Structure formats: C-alpha cells, structure tokens
Amino acid sequence: MTSSVAYVGPDPATFWPEAAITIGTNDGYDLDAATPDSGRVQVVNSKADIRLITDLAATQRMTGAEAVSSYADCVGAPTRKAIPAGELKVGSTFCVETTEGRWARLGIADVRVEPSKTEVDLSVIVWQRAA
C-alpha cells in the first residue's frame, strides 16, 4: 500500500448524492456518468471507474475507508490495488478516484454469490473535484 497526498479543506459538493448501485461479474461502473442509473458499463469500456471480474478493482486509485469517511479521509488513505472477491463483506467501505478526478465513497450493502455470477449492491456518494 502507498500513501496518498493529504487533502485539507471542506468536502467538495456532491456530484451524486448518496445512491444505490449494483455491479455484477464482468460489469463496470462509470462513477462520472450523469446519473447513477446511466453508469453501468461493460468492463472493456474505458470509462469504467470500478469493475468486478475476479476482484473488485478501480481504474485509478482505491483507498480504504470507514462508513463516515470524508473526502479528505478518502484522498489521504493508503492506496490498495483491489478487493478480492472473498473479502467482499457487507458493511465494508472503500473509496475510489474516478477517471475524471472525482472521489467516491462506496459501502457494500449486499453481496450475492452464485456459481456463475457475483453481484454487489453498493451505497455510493461521489464528490465533485476539489477546487
């Protein structure tokens, strides 16, 4: 894990107020999409900020978080590569930097594992880029 640059200041305005999204095996999600409903994309799509193949991974940076983590907490937390499928647990929280420079805090609300597919329900808030 590497440390991120510290951010000092108030949380930027939200780009997406808290929303619920679902990502499944071989799906990606564009957290910069205009609305949460329009963010689900194919994994091969370069706009996918997060993707679920064998692990839940971010295109840019992913950091650890708590359910109440602020923008500054997300930006300043140690970076990790991905969350292995076996570690996808309800109540876990993480942050990702989007391809357009925003930050999002995501909490795992539910995990459904079937032989051919995994689906993860996430609670997400996306902040605007800091000034």
Residue 17 scores a pLDDT above 70: yes
Is 4 part of any domain? no
pLDDT in tens, 51-68: 999 899 999 999 999 999
Q: Does residue 83 sit within a domain?
A: yes
pLDDT for res 122: 97
pTM of the model: 0.88
CB-CB contact of 104 with 62 (8 Å): no
If one counts the domains in the chain, the total is: 1
Q: Does residue 3 sit within a domain?
A: no
Residue 127 has phi, psi (to 5 degrees) of: -95, 150
